[in-house]
Structure 1
């Protein structure tokens, strides 16, 4: 499980006095602990849930970074960027825009050609096929462009 390796990484970051890595790892650990307690029991969370949590953490930091950038707060922007780079190390490799487009085109072909009305069905299948490998916003953008 990823949560076990995170604990080891936190210890290493503390010894190395790597504050950026330590902040990112602590955020991951906090998210995992919160998810475990939300389910009621102290059971481990599965890999799919871990990936969703990591994606959520990255998304939150990107949104914060955009706000800080627009307000001219480079110091806070840089902190968010550092944490994003730490968290992304634990995510599966993200697909390129072209790779995503090919997968979505295949999904549309399997459905026998979809129209704008069937966007929800296509999105559902695409999100399932690309879980953890692509950003939801990008998937929606590509589906919309292919169906229009």
Structure 2
């Protein structure tokens, strides 16, 4: 089942359950997918492209979450946390910190990285391996830890 089919299925269920929050988030995801397919000039997107869109949606919400926390907007913080959890339902299972560290260590050895100057090489090699399965800032922190 493609992401779009799953979203349509869940949208129908959210309508039946009168779950406005879930329905709103699903509609936003579908709109992002639609916009991306128009931009790329395709009828259907690949799984990788779907994953990129979902990752972007989560990142936008996490950025908003930080803004709302710093502004003391607890009502909006709760809303963003709910939206993040809804979007994450459609993403692959996230890697644990141990699994991520292992992948990063292997990649550092593969690209022969030794200093912080090699960070770009390591990040560009790691990101395709963990696409959608880990947060970029978490990856960056772990890479920095190993390159010190």
Q: Same fold judged by TM-score > 0.5?
A: yes
Instruction: Give the equivalent residue in structure 2 for 1:31.
Output: 32
Does the 8 A contact of 1:32 with 1:53 survive in 2? yes
Q: Hey, what does 1:74 align to over in structure 2?
A: 74
> Alignment RMSD, CA only?
1.4
Aligned 8 A contact 1:94 1:133 in 2: yes
Q: How far 1:113 sits from its partner (Å)?
A: 5.0
Q: Deviations over 1:96-141 (max 9, x none)?
A: 2221111111112233453333221111111111111111111111
Q: Which residue of 1 aligns with 2:5?
A: 4
Of 51-60 and 112-121, deviating more is 112-121
Number of the residue aligned with 1:127: 127
Could you tell me whether the CA contact under 8 Å between 1:24 and 1:84 is conserved in 2?
A: no
1:63-108 per-residue CA deviation (whole Å, 9 max, x = no partner) reads 1122122222222221111111110000001112221111111112
Q: Distance in 2 between matches of 1:79 and 1:111?
A: 41
**TM-score scaled to structure 1, two decimals?**
0.92
Structure 1: state its 5+ residue gaps.
none
Q: Is the 8 A contact 1:23 1:83 kept in 2?
A: no
User: Following superposition of structure 1 onto structure 2, how do residues 1-148 of structure 1 map, counting pairs within 5 Å?
Assistant: 1-41=2-42, 43-148=43-148
Seen in structure 2, the aligned counterparts of structure 1 residues 32 and 147 have a Cα distance that, compared at 3 Å, is same
Where in structure 1 do 4 or more consecutive aligned residues deviate above 6 Å? Answer: none
TM-score by length of 2: 0.92
Contact 2:111 2:121 in 1 (8 A): no
Contiguous gaps of at least 5 residues in structure 2: none
